[in-house]
Amino acid sequence: MEQPPALPSDTNDAPNKGKIFGGMVIMAAWIFLHVVLFYLFAGSGVLVEIFVGFVKTILLNDNNAFPSIGHAWEGTLKTGLVLAGSAGIPLGLAKFWITYQKHLKKVFWLLLILGFLFELYALFIFISTAFTAPT
């Protein structure tokens, strides 16, 4: 008697070390890039406020232009960078965690889009606050 062909196993093969290493590299590079951007924007925020105050003084002849224009835009921008930076974690995990790859990619896109929207909103706050005429 012949044996019936073996059914494929339900267990997935473990990911190889190359995929795990590649996923870790993707996560580390993505997070490093966003940490660098985070600190660049944090350091340049003061310079941008000084520049905007200087421009407002010249264009609008406003003597009170140098006080801070508010830190709402900076906080929103940093929140967007943190959200976009944390998107690298599910992206790296999706490289080797095949069973949850579809869900991890959805989480990646969700965090990336939310971060981008926060950054756009920060730009809107900055422009609307910096270039409004004094009352």
Q: Could you give the CA distance from residue 112 to residue 67 in angstroms, rounded to a whole number?
A: 33
Please give the sequence-ordered ranges of beta strands (E in DSSP) within 41-114, or none if there are none: none
Residue with structure tokens 């835009």? 73
129 phi and psi angles, rounded to 5 deg: -80, -40
Q: How many CB atoms lie within 10 A of CB 74?
A: 21
pLDDT of residue 79: 85
* Each residue's pLDDT expressed in tens, for the chain with a length of 135 residues: 566 665 555 455 667 888 888 888 988 888 888 777 767 766 666 666 666 666 666 655 555 544 455 567 777 877 888 888 888 899 988 888 888 889 999 999 999 999 999 989 988 887 787 676 555
